[in-house]
Amino acid sequence: MIDLVALTMATVGALLGAALLLRVRQYRLRQRKLELENAGLTAAISSSQQWAEMNEAIFQNAPVSMIATDRDGLITSMNRAAERLCGYSREELVGTACMTVLHDKKELESKAAELAQNEGGVGDRDGFDVLTASAVDDLAGVKWNYMRRDGSRVPVSVVMQTVTADGSSTDGSTDGGTDRGAAGFAESGGVTGYIAIAVDITEQKQMMARMTQMATHDHLTKLAGRALLQENTAQAVERARRYGTQVAVFVLDLDQMKRINDSLGHTHGDKVLVEVARRLRGTVRSSDTVARVGGDEFVVVMPDIMNLGDVEQCGLNLVHCIVPPMNIDGHEVHVTASVGACVYPDFAADAKHLLKRADVAMYVAKEDGRNQYRVFTEDMLKETVDRLSMEHVLRHALANEELRLEYQPQVSLGKGVVVGMEALLRWTHPKLGEVPPSVFIPLAEETGLIVSIGAWVFQTACREGVRLREELGMDLMISVNLSPRQFQQRDLIEVIEGALHGSGLPAESLEIEITETMVMVNSTTTLDTLQRIRDLGVKIAIDDFGTGFCSFTYLLQYQVDRLKIDQSFVRQAVYDTNAAAVVRTIIAMSHGLGIKVVAEGVETEEQLRFLLRRRCDEAQGRLFSGAVPASEFARVVETVGGTQMSIRSL
């Protein structure tokens, strides 16, 4: 904004500078005249051509456009700069009415009306009559357009000068403090004409427009920014209040932006945002405001809504317009959006609440499974309070020792024994009770709390793992889940190393589970981090395999140790031939690459039988055991060991 002010100052400065230059010259001439008068040479000067010639030379060569008129506004003279500016020659214009030739009647009338609003202005006059002495003060620095000969318009900033009988002039920018102001001349009948000094402000206007655009619009998508959104919303609400209509505000948040940025990189992520912006614009009316207010958050303001049915339809349209796959540099990208809406005046009393409550509705749409649309209702307020307080209490969960780890056994299908355990985080809040990981892990990721929580998970899993290994006398593999946010953390390697050293767990017995999308980030930092983890001797497993879009090529590149087939495939494989084919292929290809396969979420013997037939290496699921506290793990190991024979017999 400061730049805008500076720019405005510069424009005014340039204009005043030009006027000042002229005034300084005139002043010097007057001084010179005085000196000459004093020297007794008055007669020589005043009667001579010299004075007039000098004046004419200044007039003609001034770098700004100057048009002189008589008292009635008929052009008496114009300088070269004015000829260039208007495209007319002096001969063509002298004798014509400045106001009719160089101005648009409508524009003049509206300018006159505008000036009429200012007290004592010239609005009571007809637009063509504005060029009169009393108008000069009002017209100082006025910006309007000159019409060129070719019909185009050039924006100019004009300073008016009143020319008086004694040859002096007063410019319209004087503040009236001078005792011989413009109006005074008119009254005394001393005014002989006017000079309009105009500066072409096309460039300044363009630059101003560009800078205003930059200040008020999002650089990437060219949509409105937050400030403009707030302004437009407030205006829409004001209009609705006056005319008894409604305003709908939609907050739209993309569901997978983080995943897309993580997997395809930010350049592609940006292209997705641009495409989303394009689709949104194409879905709404041109009078609606579309704004980008955060990384992947957009807001649409629809003024003058007549009924709630329209709001419903618009909300659905917004959700649906995002769904068709996007082609981003050859990648087919699937994006969905969660949309929340709120309507003035039914559910919000002002613009601020309208925006806030649409946001609340958007969160509800997200929590209800994403890719959908919700309108704000009062009930939603309570839910948000819950969510906010959840975030608040999660911050204290670690310090209050409300977090703990449970371990789920991983069973070797060949040997029928427990070979590893996955550490799974649990949170029991004193009042909220057991909060599922599907609720608090995303919250911990969003808030960045996952970094400190994750460090605690590493330390605890390694420490408890070592104790269990010693207790059972077994070489158990300890698996720890790593979230994308943790992966970006700078001291991740130090955290892992610290946990290993602190516990004495051999690095080869620790495995981190990362998701497919995390390995798809092609950045050098990702590769580097993974390599450094491998350098420690720590193993890498791909979690939930099959749900993202990881290809085997990537796996080769990252030297993955284990692949965990997502439980959705395991579940479907027994009745869906496609799912069965996917599982078969994953196992066959992994084995081809020397990667072990773990099946997740094995719940039934039928599933286990299928996996055994396909030579899946390991399995994890409630069929063997859910996650249990470390203190119960020994018992689970024993039970699974007892079923060894039955696994073999399947």
Residues within the interface to ligand C2E (CB under 6 A)? 408, 423-425, 436-438, 441, 454, 457, 481-483, 513, 543-544, 567, 600-603, 621-622, 626-627
Residue closer to ligand C2E by CB (options 439, 536) is: 439
Q: How far is the CB of 480 from ligand C2E (least distance, A)?
A: 6
Give the distance from CA 481 to its chain's centroid: 31
Residue closer to Mg ion by CB (options 138, 543) is: 543
Q: Which two tokens mark 473?
A: 């006398």
Residue closer to ligand C2E by CB (options 357, 539) is: 539
Whole-angstrom distance, CA of residue 155 vs CA of residue 147: 9
Whole-angstrom distance, CA of residue 477 vs CA of residue 456: 18
Q: Which residues pair with 195 in a beta bridge?
A: 68, 161
Q: Which of 218, 253, 262, 544 binds Mg ion (CB under 5 A)?
A: 544
Residue closer to ligand C2E by CB (options 133, 421) is: 421
Answer with the entry of ligand C2E, Mg ion, none that 177 interacts with (C-beta below 5 to 8 A by kind): none
Q: How far is the CB of 600 from Mg ion (least distance, A)?
A: 5
Per-residue H/E/C for 157-210: EEEEEEEECCCCEEECCCCCCCCCCHHHHHHHCCEEEEEEEEEECHHHHHHHHH
Residue closer to Mg ion by CB (options 230, 567) is: 567
Q: Which of 543, 561, 617, 618 binds Mg ion (CB under 5 A)?
A: 543
Residue closer to Mg ion by CB (options 513, 516) is: 513
Answer with the entry of ligand C2E, Mg ion, none that 204 interacts with (C-beta below 5 to 8 A by kind): none
Whole-angstrom distance, CA of residue 57 vs CA of residue 288: 55
Answer with the entry of Mg ion, ligand C2E, none that 240 interacts with (C-beta below 5 to 8 A by kind): none
Residue closer to ligand C2E by CB (options 5, 399) is: 399
Q: How far is the CB of 395 from Mg ion (least distance, A)?
A: 24
Torsion of CA 151, 154, 160, 165, to 10 degrees: -40
Whole-angstrom distance, CA of residue 285 vs CA of residue 339: 18
Please count the other Cβ atoms lying within 10 Å of the Cβ belonging to residue 578: 10
Whole-angstrom distance, CA of residue 624 vs CA of residue 640: 6
Binding range to Mg ion, per CB under 5 A, among 15-23, 168-176, 366-374, 536-544: 536-544
The dihedral sign for the CA sequence 387, 391, 397, 398: positive
Q: How far is the CB of 628 from Mg ion (least distance, A)?
A: 16
Answer with the entry of ligand C2E, Mg ion, none that 621 interacts with (C-beta below 5 to 8 A by kind): ligand C2E
Q: How far is the CB of 451 from ligand C2E (least distance, A)?
A: 10
Q: What are the phi and psi torsion angles at 416 (to 5°)?
A: 70, 25
C-alpha distances in Å from residue 151, one per residue of 67, 110, 147: 19, 20, 6
Q: How many residues bind Mg ion (CB under 5 A)?
A: 5
Give the distance from CA 168 to its chain's centroid: 57
Whole-angstrom distance, CA of residue 332 vs CA of residue 518: 18
Whole-angstrom distance, CA of residue 247 vs CA of residue 224: 18
Whole-angstrom distance, CA of residue 147 vs CA of residue 87: 9
Please count the other Cβ atoms lying within 10 Å of the Cβ belonging to residue 79: 23
Q: Evaluate whether 520 touches 264 at the Cβ level (below 8 Å).
A: yes
Binding range to Mg ion, per CB under 5 A, among 390-398, 513-521, 578-586, 604-612: 513-521
Q: Which two tokens mark 619?
A: 């399995």
Answer with the entry of Mg ion, ligand C2E, none that 441 interacts with (C-beta below 5 to 8 A by kind): ligand C2E
Residue closer to Mg ion by CB (options 424, 640) is: 424
Q: How far is the CB of 450 from ligand C2E (least distance, A)?
A: 6
Answer with the entry of Mg ion, ligand C2E, none that 361 interacts with (C-beta below 5 to 8 A by kind): none
- Looking at the chain, the number of H-run helices and the number of E-run strands are 28, 23
Q: How far is the CB of 525 from ligand C2E (least distance, A)?
A: 19
Binding range to Mg ion, per CB under 5 A, among 113-121, 147-155, 509-517, 612-620: 509-517
Residue closer to ligand C2E by CB (options 197, 405) is: 405
Q: Which of residues 579-598 bind Mg ion (CB under 5 A)?
A: none
218 binds Mg ion (CB under 5 A): no
Q: Which of 83, 511, 513, 516 binds Mg ion (CB under 5 A)?
A: 513
The position carrying tokens 């300073």 is 159
Helix ranges (DSSP H) in 265-297? 266-283
Q: Evaluate whether 627 touches 424 at the Cβ level (below 8 Å).
A: yes
Q: How far is the CB of 604 from ligand C2E (least distance, A)?
A: 9
Q: Evaluate whether 479 touches 541 at the Cβ level (below 8 Å).
A: yes
Residue closer to Mg ion by CB (options 171, 544) is: 544
Please count the other Cβ atoms lying within 10 Å of the Cβ belonging to residue 539: 23
Burial class (CB in 10 A: 0-12, 13-18, 19+), 66: buried
Whole-angstrom distance, CA of residue 228 vs CA of residue 512: 46
Q: Which residues pair with 194 in a beta bridge?
A: 69, 162
Q: How far is the CB of 595 from ligand C2E (least distance, A)?
A: 18
Residue closer to ligand C2E by CB (options 289, 607) is: 607
Whole-angstrom distance, CA of residue 621 vs CA of residue 411: 9
Q: How far is the CB of 637 from ligand C2E (least distance, A)?
A: 16
77 binds Mg ion (CB under 5 A): no
Binding range to Mg ion, per CB under 5 A, among 44-52, 184-192, 507-515, 522-530: 507-515
Instruction: Provide the pairing of β-strand 297-305 with 562-565.
Output: unpaired
Helix ranges (DSSP H) in 265-344? 266-283, 308-322
Q: How far is the CB of 589 from ligand C2E (least distance, A)?
A: 21
Residues 279-308 vs Mg ion: string with x where CB under 5 A?
Answer: ------------------------------
Residue closer to ligand C2E by CB (options 35, 632) is: 632
Q: How far is the CB of 543 from ligand C2E (least distance, A)?
A: 5
Q: How far is the CB of 618 from ligand C2E (least distance, A)?
A: 13
Pick the closest to residue 18 from 99, 73, 101, 79 (CA basis): 79
Instruction: Provide the pairing of β-strand 246-254 with 289-294.
Output: unpaired
Q: What angle do CA 387, 392, 397 make, to 5 degrees?
A: 115
Residue closer to ligand C2E by CB (options 218, 422) is: 422
Q: How far is the CB of 570 from ligand C2E (least distance, A)?
A: 9
Residue closer to Mg ion by CB (options 371, 481) is: 481
Q: How far is the CB of 569 from ligand C2E (least distance, A)?
A: 12
Prior bond of 345 cis (ω within 30°): yes
481 binds Mg ion (CB under 5 A): yes
Residue closer to Mg ion by CB (options 164, 481) is: 481
Answer with the entry of Mg ion, ligand C2E, none that 622 interacts with (C-beta below 5 to 8 A by kind): ligand C2E
**Residues engaged in binding Mg ion (CB under 5 A):** 481, 513, 543-544, 600
